[in-house]
Structure 1
Amino acid sequence: MAVLTISRSYQSGGHEIGRAVARQTGHTFVDKGRIYAEMKALGEKWGRLFEETDEASPTLWEKNDWQYRGFIAQIESIILDYALKDRAVILGRGGNFILADIPHILKVRLDAPLEVRVQRAIIKNETPRETAEALIKKTDNDRAGYVRSIYKKEWGDPRYYDRIIDTSEYTQEEIVQRLVTALQEWEGRATEEGRKKLAGRAVAAKIKARIFGHPKIFVPTLEVFHEGDDIVLRGVIHSPQERHEIEKIIEEAGGAFGVRNELRNRT
């Protein structure tokens, strides 16, 4: 089954459209509320970080902070797990970049002219024009900064989307139907290679997230990624205990993939 990712400018109607598509197709709607619940279930600190930093542009300190990197690893693992189960509509949080180059992932960008979005915000939130416009610009800048910092890509670049829709040009019902139809088309694009790539990415993300969440592990140079038939780990570890704990995580989460453990001891 196909998976839909939705990137949306603020007040473009992304949440309402995504929820309606999910309801019509029976897909799981993976929005802020669902991811927040998953993060809280992983631990109070992850829930707190989500409340404080979700889709916000990180500071230079945050971007390199071990806990913040762990926070991003948890979100990516959650998104990949939902995509692996199929039939998911994933809203925001860089989903199209996390799931790049997988044929059965339909990547959509929803936008609308600023003035249209300002008027929507005024009506929806009952706020003055200046407040509505400032909030839209801040939210858009935060989301763009988040993607730029984490994925080194430009949030609004059309090259990263299969469909770009101006939500001021169609009714919500028309947009929903277009996306439902596109999802049906995308179902035929699933390949064995694409599913393997998705599964490998999901396993790598799970291992990475568990390492970042482990209280006895601190590997600032850590890299974990899927390559061919293997999950590859690189970085510099500080003690035999760290290596032992990481190997336990690999054994538990490695699945059907081989593992190339290229972690080096600190000299």
Structure 2
Amino acid sequence: MKHIILIPGMLGAGCTKVAEILGKKLNFECINTEKIVKRIVTEGRLSYTELEAMTLSGEINLEEVIRSVVLDYLSEGNVIVEGRSAFLVLDRDVDLKIFLFADTEFRINRIAERRGIALDEAREAVRKSDEDRSGLVKRLYRKSWLDPTLYDMLINTTNLKFEAVAEIIRTALENKYEKE
């Protein structure tokens, strides 16, 4: 049986790390917006600059292109879609939709450390990301991105190791298909 897991969440809540750990445990491919854009650039023989220019000019709708690539991955199965890209396919029937969130200060500190930037810059990145993801879900589904009915499970990663979060998700997938 082929499985699909979506791990959307807040910037800095650990979506990428959790997906990587879970992907190794399950031998699933992990994809996110960064990986998809790299694939578009590589396969399309475009530079990032050309892709950005085409997006800004309206020549291509990058969001639709990314969604199309994600749907290709979903058709293959045994995939984890994490981060912003996962929000683009929340309307799809998949095995699990797990929303990761964390306290704002935790996220700001994590982003500052991960990107090697000042706290003020990280705070702005978190704010912009929250605004972007909120707007995306509102536009696509007319719901709040924090609406728990969009997801199978919500996990606060503030006080959990990412390995533990990955194990919670693995167990949820395993239990979903256990015979009663």
> Do the two structures share a fold, i.e. TM-score over 0.5?
yes
- Whichever residue aligns with residue 109 of structure 1, its letter is F
Q: Which residue of 2 aligns with 1:38?
A: 39
- Whichever residue aligns with residue 131 of structure 2, its letter is N
1:82 to 53, 73, 77: 73
CA contact (8 A) 2:32 2:84 kept: no
Q: Which residue of 1 aligns with 2:14?
A: 13
Q: Which has the larger radius of gyration?
A: 1
Question: Could you say if the C-alpha distance between residues 8 and 133 of structure 1 is closer, same or farther in structure 2, counting changes exceeding 3 Å?
Answer: same
How far has the Cα of 1:47 moved from its partner? 8.1
Q: Which residue of 1 aligns with 2:64?
A: 73
Question: Could you say if the C-alpha distance between residues 96 and 11 of structure 1 is closer, same or farther in structure 2, counting changes exceeding 3 Å?
Answer: closer
CA contact (8 A) 1:109 1:165 kept: yes
Equivalences for residues 158-237 of structure 1 within 5 A: 158-187=148-177
- 1:146-182 deviations in Å (ceiling 9; x for gaps): 3333443322221101010000131111111111112
How far has the Cα of 1:4 moved from its partner? 0.6
Question: Could you say if the C-alpha distance between residues 75 and 127 of structure 1 is closer, same or farther in structure 2, counting changes exceeding 3 Å?
Answer: closer
Question: Could you say if the C-alpha distance between residues 132 and 101 of structure 1 is closer, same or farther in structure 2, counting changes exceeding 3 Å?
Answer: closer
Task: List gaps (5 residues or longer) in structure 2.
Answer: none
Aligned length: 177
User: Structure 1: how far apart are the matches of 2:163 and 2:152?
Assistant: 20
- Percent identity between matched residues is 23
User: Structure 2: how far apart are the matches of 1:151 and 1:143?
Assistant: 12
**Which of 1 and 2 has higher RCO (CA within 8 Å, sep 6+)?**
2
User: Structure 2: how far apart are the matches of 1:97 and 1:158?
Assistant: 16
- Whichever residue aligns with residue 70 of structure 2, its letter is I
Q: CA RMSD in A?
A: 3.0
Point out the structure with the larger strand share.
Answer: 1
Q: Which residue of 1 aligns with 2:95?
A: 105
User: Structure 1: how far apart are the matches of 2:78 and 2:151?
Assistant: 19
TM-score by length of 2: 0.81
Equivalences for residues 235-246 of structure 1 within 5 A: none
Q: Which residue of 1 aligns with 2:134?
A: 144
User: Structure 2: how far apart are the matches of 1:14 and 1:139?
Assistant: 13
How far has the Cα of 1:51 moved from its partner? 8.9
Q: Which residue of 2 aligns with 1:134?
A: 124
